[in-house]
Structure 1
Amino acid sequence: MIEIERKFLVSNDSFIEQAFVKNKISQGYLSSVPERTVRVRIKGDVGFLTIKGASSKSGLSRYEWEKEISLNDAENLLLLCEPGVIEKTRYEVISGNHTFEIDVFYGDNKGLIIAEIELTAEMEYFELPDWIGAEVTGDVKYYNSFLSQNPFKNW
């Protein structure tokens, strides 16, 4: 499936009071090369294995395959991941007809907050909430795979 996504920095924490879902996420990378990332994620008490292809030139879309796996398998696979496991809390907020996923990072990426919105078309209209800051779509330094190797604290 092709994922179409835009990313933004977040300018304040007013989104927290609007959130209808909140989950702790731990994720690591079995492969973090840009041409193909292989991610292991624990979201709440559920595990996932995800493979993503290279981004399009615009940075808006790329192939994504995801499969739910057992929590035990995810915990064991995280032990095999490259150094730099990402820790974050994800909030989900409805804005108009869309849902924004806002990631508040911890550990070496503490201080970074990124909002993502998935779209059905690259030019699809959506409403920007007042807590949205600068757009960083396509900027690889905001990809989680990059953050796992080059954390925000080192910028």
Structure 2
Amino acid sequence: MQEIERKFLVTSEAFKNEAHKRTLIVQGFLNTNPERTVRIRIQGNDGFITVKGKSNASGISRFEWEKQISLAEAEDLLHLCEPGIIEKTRYEISADNHTFEVDDFMGENEGLIVAEIELASENEPFSKPEWLGKEVTGNVKYYNSNLSKNPFKRW
């Protein structure tokens, strides 16, 4: 249950032409303690509860546990979340043997576009599309749990 992922800013909307899937996501946090976060997410018509641990020193890997819950349960739990619900459209883009998940944020985080790629190991090589910009892996400012409290529009 170790998540290994790298995160990048996106320099253009060219990724939209390469996307094979697009999903609306609404999420909130029951807990945003830096040692562990507990997230409730509605992704399309599915609900999820996710617990994430603290990132390692490089910011690339951390513990993650996720379980699918019913849409009704997720909707009910969203009402218990801390202030700062996040809304975004997620685009999935295939690149060689990997998938980039590109989040185009709305609301208080509008204007922020971030790409993530999950890897099998911290040093696994991967192709970088032209629209991939500066790496922000490990920068807590870009964690969704922080964006819920300190949105992009306030930076």
TM-score bin, normalised by smaller chain: over 0.9
Q: Matched residues in 2 for 1:27 and 1:56: separation? A: 24
1:64 paired residue number: 64
CA offsets 1:38-61 (integer angstroms, 9 cap, x no match): 000000000000000000000000
User: What is the distance in 2 between the residues matched to 1:134 and 1:97?
Assistant: 22
- Which residue pairs with 2:128 in the alignment? 128
Task: Report deviation, 1:34.
Answer: 1.2
What is the rounded CA distance, in whole Å, between the counterparts of 1:68 and 1:82 in structure 2? 20
- Unaligned 5+ residue runs, structure 2? none
Unaligned runs of 5+ in 1: none
Runs of 4+ in 1 over 6 A off after TM superposition: none
How many angstroms apart in 2 are the aligned matches of 1:35 and 1:20? 34
Q: Deviations over 1:88-114 (max 9, x none)?
A: 000000111110000000000000000
Query: Does 1:54 find its partner at 2:43?
Result: no
Please list the CA deviations of residues 32-90 of structure 1 after superposition, one character each: whole Å capped at 9, or x if unmatched: 11100000000000000000000000000000000000000000000000000000000
CA distance in 2, matches of 1:135, 1:125: 14
Among all aligned residue pairs of Structure 1 and Structure 2, give the percentage whose two residues are the same amino acid.
63
| Aligned-pair Cα RMSD in Å | 0.3
Q: TM-score, normalised by structure 1?
A: 1.00
Q: Match for residue 22 of structure 1?
A: 22
Distance 2:120 2:5 in 1: 9
Specify the code of the residue in structure 1 equivalent to 2:123.
Answer: M
Aligned residues: 155
Give the secondary-structure state (helix, strand or coil) at the position aligned to 2:55: coil
TM, length-normalised to structure 2: 1.00
Mapped to 1, the partners of 2:11 and 2:128 lie a distance apart of: 12
C-alpha distance in structure 2 between counterparts of 1:57 and 1:15, whole Å: 30
2:6 counterpart residue number: 6
